[in-house]
Copies of this chain bind each other. A is one copy, B any other.
Amino acid sequence: MPDYPLMKLRVVLGPDTMLGPGKADLLQGIDETGSIAAAGRRMGMSYKRAWYLIDTMNAYFQEPVVVSSKGGAKGGGASLTDTGKAVLDCYRQIQRKADSAAQDDLRTLAALAKPGPKNDEA
């Protein structure tokens, strides 16, 4: 269960050029699994949708963020390019710094909310 309150960030680089938690998690999944299918699967995302998001990101940046190879002994694979690694790293830094800067106000906001479902039986 996530630890509330939390923030989700969407970076808008231009009209129709957005990078949010879904795309960032997909990049991280590819980095960790070496596979677009596996990265999508662990997010409950179809292979087609995962490829669509990667194509979209590859078009955003001056260099592609993901490269993939077909076939071969291990059935191909995918990995992040240097640009892909830099994009993911920037996004995570933004998230970390924003979380940290906003912590006090997030708690103040959460204190105004109705209490959530009790977790004390967990």
- The smallest C-beta distance from A4 to any residue of chain B, in angstroms, reads 5
A4: B residues at CB distance < 8 A? 12-14
Q: How many residues of A contact B (CB 8 A)?
A: 42
Chain B, residue nearest A19 (CB): B109
Residue A17 at the chain B interface, CB threshold 8 Å: yes
B14 touches A94 (CB 8 A): no
Nearest opposing residue in chain B for A94, CB measure: B102
Chain A, range 15-60, C-beta contacts under 8 Å to B:
15, 17, 19, 59-60
Residues of A within 8 A of B (CB): 2, 4-15, 17, 19, 59-63, 83, 86-87, 90-91, 93-94, 97-98, 100-102, 105-106, 108-110, 112-114, 116-117
